[in-house]
Structure 1
């Protein structure tokens, strides 16, 4: 069972080794208070075991908390940082010194850790390759899973789009039919109102009766057809 907070990284690192540009693989095992590095160039291998005491002393030297120091080291050895200069140089018989630079408050600083030659280079190299293969398998499975999820989401989106278009068409048809019925009812009401207005106009014209005019054509009186006793006024 792995310790709580245990993390692993593996970096293909382009470095300067004193003879020119080279490539090494750095596998890091990170814990809250210490870390280990396993390094190979494909032929030889080296190990760096940073103990809790060493990490605490380095962190105190740089005026940092241990967690901050670990996080910063992991950031630089988990992903090659742009602008940082990495070196992997000889530091004695069978030993190497891994270093990297970083900027702090406008000043370029450098961290160095000494790495011991591994007693079993093949095993270290094989473990790094196994880790990379496992990581590649996990990433491939994750890519396949995400692609399948994407295809499902795409199918659902297309289905929702088709339903939305169908609902829009049905809504328009419903609105057109409703509007058509409303116009028909409105026109019918208008026709009835015209009929009522015409009937009322005829009724009022009949109710007023004929009007009398003098020779000049002016109205001089009207006959009230509703009363037989009233005389026509001249």
Structure 2
């Protein structure tokens, strides 16, 4: 299925005797579920490697792997340079090259090698790799533009939400202040009424106490008068 095909392109810096000289190749990989194709160029010459399903199956059996797992591991190392892996692209005679890379599995150092044939058309193979890189760069640039635009929209939305939140907070503060002012006014009014009622009750109690004292005084006077009358009798 077309959707299961993946493409990668790795720029691989090769070890050279003179550290001041840079030697690099570009490896374009086309990855299928059970096989893969490689196109390699150094800018002048080009090579290809078409690993068939049968070849991948045989290699996978040697490493006790299913073909899909073998292809996935090859894609991992040839699609993205892995730290700690030693890569090689050495002469194999008759214009052929041997592409190799190392990795560790369960503590054991392993090396995979694939022989690459000279391209039948160096210019075309190199052009295809450069076209792929250009298309990938264009897609990446478009994606960056889309991400940037999306980020700007999110930023604008965040600023709008922030302003709206500040507005809500201000309105909430104003509302709470108004409600608090009304509550204080009502509370003070209630306190004033309570004080008024308390004063009235105090006055009533004072008036009632005064009346009682007068009544008691009157009763004592009448008793004294009666006693006086009895003595005269």
- Provide TM-score, normalisation by structure 1: 0.89
**Structure 1 residue runs of 4 or more that deviate by more than 6 Å after TM superposition:** 17-20
Structure (1/2) with the larger helix percentage: 2
Corresponding position of 1:224: 215
Shift of 1:19: 8.2
2:205 and 2:16 map into 1 onto residues whose CA distance is 116
Distance in structure 2 (CA, Å) of the matches to 1:167 and 1:38: 61
Q: Secondary structure at the match of 1:24?
A: strand
Is the partner of 1:81 in helix, strand or coil? coil
How much has 1:124 moved relative to structure 2?
0.3
Q: Which residue of 2 aligns with 1:12?
A: 11
In the other structure, the counterpart of 1:88 is: 89
Distance 1:142 1:232 in 2: 111
Number of residues of Structure 1 aligned to a counterpart in Structure 2: 220
d(CA) in 1 for partners of 2:111, 2:137: 32
SS at match of 2:93: coil
Q: How does 1:133-212 map to 2 (within 5 A)?
A: 133-209=134-210
> What are structure 2's unaligned runs of at least 5 residues?
225-233
Q: Say whether 1:119 aligns with 2:120.
A: yes
Give the distance between the partners of 2:2 and 2:138, measured in 1 at CA.
23
DSSP-derived class of the 1:97 partner = strand
Q: What are structure 1's unaligned runs of at least 5 residues?
A: 212-221
RMSD: 2.0
CA distance in 2, matches of 1:60, 1:14: 31
1:139-165 CA-to-partner distances (Å, cap 9, x unmatched) read 000000000000000000000001101
Q: Structure 1 residue 223: deviation in Å?
A: 2.1
